[in-house]
Structure 1
Amino acid sequence: MDWFYAIVYGIVEGITEFLPISSTGHLILAGNLMGVPWPKEVKDTFEVVIQGGAILAVLAYYWRDFLKIRHIGTDRGQQRLWLGVVVACIPAVVLGLLFGDTIKANLFRPSVVAWALIVGGVVMWLVESRRSEPRVHDIETIGVGRSLLIGAVQCLALLWPGFSRSASSILGGMVLGLDRPTATRFSFYLGVPTLGGAALLDFIKSREILGQIGIVNVVLGAAVSFGVAYVAIGWLLRFVSTNNFKGFAVYRVVVGALILILIATGVMTNGSLA
């Protein structure tokens, strides 16, 4: 059954990684509902590593844009864009190095994730209801200051598992004046070093752990994640061009409430996932 679990995890990861609904929350829900028998350390590592497939989907979807980086020496727009991406990564890297293990040990549990989904959904609804006319419509004009603030807001996902990295970075961008498509695209770009680095590091450190379920199943999960994420990226970009995020806000509250109900009824345990 390992191949089946790998496929399901890949589908869930691919759909939820870039949508503002928390891949962490959905992977927890999927794992519990399937009764995945893998040891906890295997499950945790597998979930991080298959993020690499979703990151490759961003590179594939935007391959023409990423090729422009070869002109970074002379292209001011590329310089501003990638300086912004690097600066936006700094808060999460610093916070992760200093407090990552502590946060994971104390906050990485289903009830925390559930409340993060619910609160994040309420925040998303409020941001959409009260936002002013966006001022930034080009990813190359976000600027270093806004990028740093978006990176700081992104840390909500690290401080509060289940809040969603994509939701925090997109909402942060919208509050700072970015229109939805620009905030969404910048969130995709920001995910490449943030999630890609984490996936690569975990794979290098934990190859023996992943060997318990077979490298073939790891590759299978990452490949499924890649294909599904590629489709999800295109869908989300089309969606945000004509719609707001209120539907996602409602969905988050419903999923968070479902997790709490499963915990209350004993279907899902609330023990630490770290």
Structure 2
Amino acid sequence: MLEALKVIILGIVEGITEWLPISSTGHLILVEEFIKLEQSEAFIEMFNVVIQLGAILAVVVIYFHKLNPFSPKKTQKQKMLTIQLWVKVAIAAVPAAVIGLLFDDMIEAKFMNAYVVAATLIIYGILFIVVEESHKNKQPAVTKLSKLTIPMVLIIGAFQVLALIPGTSRSGATIIGALLIGTARGVAAEFTFFLGIPVMFGASFLKILKFFKEGGGIMGSEVFLLLLGCGISFGVSVFAIKFLMQYIKNHDFKVFGYYRIALGVIVLAYFGIAGLLAA
């Protein structure tokens, strides 16, 4: 029962932080300091990735009509635009997929620590504020997803590679990249949501494969915890996505920049003090 409660809390954190550009990793690192699952290290590592499936399913459900190229309610032109959107998403996903496959283990070993997370939280928080300030009086050049060109989506995909460093935030990196090339905030956010579909499904599949390849077994109770975490992250993600899209209609992303900086300082202070006390 206690493990289920912990998973519910982790699912809530994942559902909120996966889509807001504030780093799910940064939050989970802090939360896991106080809420530790009594499971194997291999299972926890897999759980932290697979729980994202619930979050990504929320995107599929909310945007099912927009993402469905076979909808009978769409004209032939709309179907072609939907197919083009999927092609652009696939192209944008390539850089992170290639770099992730090649360097995933190295990145996890070298960069998965509180100090790196704190630094990236602060750096990208500052970037959000700087980018928004520099674009304050500019009209976005791209106001529709259909206006995104192949070079543009490749640039956004290149920014997604930066999110392989823990604490960066996948949505944060891609939104910054999209804003820099002149997309409207709504377009930046939506393309980020869609780009997460192949990336997060792929990452979850690889983690599950790695878990079983390394001899991991899974019990019924662990399956329950995985499904519970995914279900909670799905439900919370629905609200988080709708909140973000409503919020950016009348606001910029600077508030998330300030929040990231504050969280980065908290992470740095907490683990710095804990390290000194342990020394």
| TM-score, normalization by structure 2 | 0.90
Aligned residue in 1 for 2:31: 30
Give the corresponding residue for 1:13: 14
Alignment counterpart, residue 91 of structure 1, candidates 90, 95, 101: 95
* Count of residues paired in the alignment: 269
CA distance 1:48–1:77, change in 2 (3 Å): same
**Which amino acid letter does the alignment assign opposite residue 161 of structure 1?**
P
CA–CA distance in structure 1, aligned partners of residues 14 and 184 of structure 2: 26
Distance in 2 (CA, whole Å) between partners of 1:41 and 1:6 is 16
Higher deviation after alignment, 205-214 or 2-11: 205-214
Q: Which residue of 2 aligns with 1:152?
A: 158
4+ runs deviating over 3 angstroms: 35-39, 69-76, 207-213, 267-270
Gaps of 5+ in 1: none
Deviation by residue 1:193-252 (Cα, 9 ceiling, x = unmatched): 011221233234436455395211110010000000011000000011110011100100
Distance in 2 (CA, whole Å) between partners of 1:166 and 1:183 is 9
Identity %: 37
State the partner residue of 1:261: 269
| Matched residue, 1:143 | 149
* Alignment counterpart, residue 140 of structure 2, candidates 112, 134, 138: 134
Matched, 1:61 2:62: yes
Gaps of 5+ in 2: none
Residues 113-160 of structure 1: per-residue CA shift (max 9 Å, x gap) = 1111000100111000002321111112211110011000111111x2
RMSD over equivalenced CA pairs, Å: 2.2
1:38 positional shift: 3.2
Q: Report which of the two structures shows the higher radius of gyration computed on alpha carbons.
A: 2
Are residues 269 and 134 of structure 1, via their aligned partners in 2, closer, same or farther at CA, if it must alter by over 3 Å?
farther
- Report if aligned partners of 2:11, 2:232 keep a CA contact under 8 Å in 1: yes
- The match for 2:197 among 192, 201, 204 is 192
For residues 12-45 of structure 1, what are the alpha-carbon distances to aligned partners after superposition, in whole Å with 9 as ceiling and x for unaligned?
0000001100011111111112244433322221
**1:222 counterpart (230, 234, 237):** 230
8 Å Cα contact 1:89/1:194 also seen in 2 = yes
Please point out which of 60, 65, 83 is paired with 1:79: 83
Aligned residue in 1 for 2:173: 168
Task: Give the residue type in structure 1 aligned to 2:102.
Answer: L
Kept in 1, the 8 Å contact 2:68–2:82? The answer is no
Asked if the contact 2:119–2:264 (Cα under 8 Å) also holds between the matched residues in 1, the reply is yes
TM-score by length of 1: 0.92
Residues 95-114 of structure 1 mapped to structure 2, 5 A cutoff: 95-114=99-118
Q: Call closer, same or farther: CA 1:69–1:192 in 2, change over 3 Å.
A: farther
